[in-house]
Amino acid sequence: MLEITDIKLSKNVVATGEKFMISVAIEEKVDYPFDYPFDFQPSYKNREGSLDYPYDYPFDL
């Protein structure tokens, strides 16, 4: 999931005579644990304790 984290706008173009500039920072955020059962292959879901987030995450494979 992408998320806009920081937005910067330049000064008023009319008052300063400069070009209008917009700066945006975009970060990729993980959606874990919201769709946790869908992030792993079925073989991982059958491991003992694999659904006990956050207690045994990350898995030691």
In this predicted model, what pLDDT tens digit does every residue of 8-43 receive, in sequence order?
887 776 776 777 778 888 888 776 666 666 655 555
Round to whole Å and give the CA distance between 36 and 53.
9
The pTM (predicted TM-score) of the whole model is 0.34
Co-location of 21 and 9 in the same domain: yes
Q: Is the pLDDT of residue 6 over 80?
A: yes
| Same domain? 26 vs 1 | yes
Domain that holds residue 57: 31-61
The pLDDT, as a whole number, for residue 5 is: 81
Burial environment of residue 50 by CB neighbours within 10 A (0 to 12, 13 to 18, 19 or more): middle
Condensed to tens digits (0 to 9), the pLDDT of residues 43-60 reads: 544 455 555 555 555 555
User: Are 26 and 37 within one domain?
Assistant: no
Q: Are residues 25 and 37 in the same domain?
A: no
Number of domains in the chain: 2
Distance in angstroms (rounded) separating the CA atoms of residues 59 and 47: 10
